[in-house]
Amino acid sequence: MLTSQIVGYLAATLTTASFLPQAILTIKTRDTDGLSLSMYSLFTMGVFFWLIYGIYLGDNAIIVANTVTFLLAVSILSCKIYNSFFKKKSD
Protein backbone atom coordinates (compact mmCIF):
# COMPACT_ATOMS: atom_id res chain seq x y z
CA MET A 1 0.00 0.00 0.00
CA LEU A 2 1.30 3.44 -0.92
CA THR A 3 2.18 5.88 1.86
CA SER A 4 -0.35 8.34 0.42
CA GLN A 5 -3.08 5.66 0.67
CA ILE A 6 -2.20 4.94 4.30
CA VAL A 7 -2.35 8.68 5.08
CA GLY A 8 -5.71 8.90 3.27
CA TYR A 9 -7.22 5.99 5.19
CA LEU A 10 -5.85 7.36 8.48
CA ALA A 11 -7.38 10.78 7.68
CA ALA A 12 -10.77 9.26 6.75
CA THR A 13 -10.84 7.04 9.85
CA LEU A 14 -10.02 9.93 12.20
CA THR A 15 -12.51 12.46 10.74
CA THR A 16 -15.28 9.81 10.60
CA ALA A 17 -14.60 8.34 14.08
CA SER A 18 -14.41 11.81 15.65
CA PHE A 19 -18.19 12.28 15.42
CA LEU A 20 -18.83 9.20 17.61
CA PRO A 21 -17.73 10.81 20.94
CA GLN A 22 -19.64 14.00 19.99
CA ALA A 23 -22.83 12.01 19.26
CA ILE A 24 -22.45 10.07 22.54
CA LEU A 25 -21.88 13.30 24.53
CA THR A 26 -24.85 15.06 22.89
CA ILE A 27 -27.26 12.11 23.30
CA LYS A 28 -26.16 11.60 26.93
CA THR A 29 -26.15 15.21 28.15
CA ARG A 30 -28.67 16.71 25.69
CA ASP A 31 -26.56 19.88 26.03
CA THR A 32 -26.61 21.49 22.59
CA ASP A 33 -26.22 25.17 23.64
CA GLY A 34 -22.63 25.23 22.41
CA LEU A 35 -23.41 23.47 19.13
CA SER A 36 -24.07 25.57 16.03
CA LEU A 37 -27.33 24.72 14.24
CA SER A 38 -25.88 26.19 11.01
CA MET A 39 -22.81 24.00 11.33
CA TYR A 40 -24.71 20.75 11.75
CA SER A 41 -27.22 21.66 9.02
CA LEU A 42 -24.48 22.48 6.47
CA PHE A 43 -22.28 19.60 7.61
CA THR A 44 -25.08 16.99 7.38
CA MET A 45 -25.97 18.20 3.86
CA GLY A 46 -22.29 18.14 2.90
CA VAL A 47 -21.80 14.58 4.15
CA PHE A 48 -24.94 13.56 2.21
CA PHE A 49 -23.36 14.97 -0.97
CA TRP A 50 -20.09 13.12 -0.17
CA LEU A 51 -22.19 9.94 0.01
CA ILE A 52 -23.77 10.69 -3.41
CA TYR A 53 -20.25 11.43 -4.73
CA GLY A 54 -19.03 8.03 -3.44
CA ILE A 55 -22.00 6.29 -5.12
CA TYR A 56 -21.17 8.11 -8.41
CA LEU A 57 -17.54 6.95 -8.20
CA GLY A 58 -18.48 3.47 -6.94
CA ASP A 59 -15.93 4.03 -4.16
CA ASN A 60 -16.79 1.85 -1.14
CA ALA A 61 -14.45 3.68 1.25
CA ILE A 62 -16.20 7.02 0.58
CA ILE A 63 -19.64 5.35 0.81
CA VAL A 64 -18.98 3.56 4.13
CA ALA A 65 -17.18 6.50 5.82
CA ASN A 66 -19.88 8.98 4.86
CA THR A 67 -22.80 6.68 5.74
CA VAL A 68 -21.37 6.38 9.27
CA THR A 69 -20.68 10.13 9.53
CA PHE A 70 -24.13 10.94 8.13
CA LEU A 71 -25.90 8.83 10.78
CA LEU A 72 -23.83 10.39 13.59
CA ALA A 73 -24.33 13.94 12.26
CA VAL A 74 -28.09 13.40 11.90
CA SER A 75 -28.37 12.21 15.51
CA ILE A 76 -26.50 15.34 16.75
CA LEU A 77 -28.55 17.63 14.46
CA SER A 78 -31.82 16.03 15.67
CA CYS A 79 -30.97 16.80 19.31
CA LYS A 80 -30.06 20.39 18.35
CA ILE A 81 -33.31 20.90 16.38
CA TYR A 82 -35.38 19.42 19.20
CA ASN A 83 -33.73 21.67 21.81
CA SER A 84 -33.92 24.77 19.59
CA PHE A 85 -37.53 24.53 18.46
CA PHE A 86 -39.51 22.08 20.58
CA LYS A 87 -38.09 22.11 24.10
CA LYS A 88 -39.53 24.57 26.60
CA LYS A 89 -36.80 26.73 28.08
CA SER A 90 -36.37 25.98 31.78
CA ASP A 91 -35.08 29.46 32.53
Residues that bind its own copies (CB under 8 A): 3-4, 7-8, 10-22, 24-26, 29, 31-36, 38-43, 45-47, 49-50, 52-53, 56-57
Query: What residues have CB less than 8 Å from 53, skipping those under 6 apart?
Result: 62
Q: Which contiguous run of DSSP H or E holds residue 24?
A: helix 19-29
Query: What residues have CB less than 8 Å from 83, skipping those under 6 apart?
Result: 30, 32, 33
Q: How far is the CB of 56 from its own copies (least distance, A)?
A: 4
Q: How far is the CB of 68 from its own copies (least distance, A)?
A: 13
The residue (of 7 and 86) whose beta carbon lies closer to its own copies is: 7
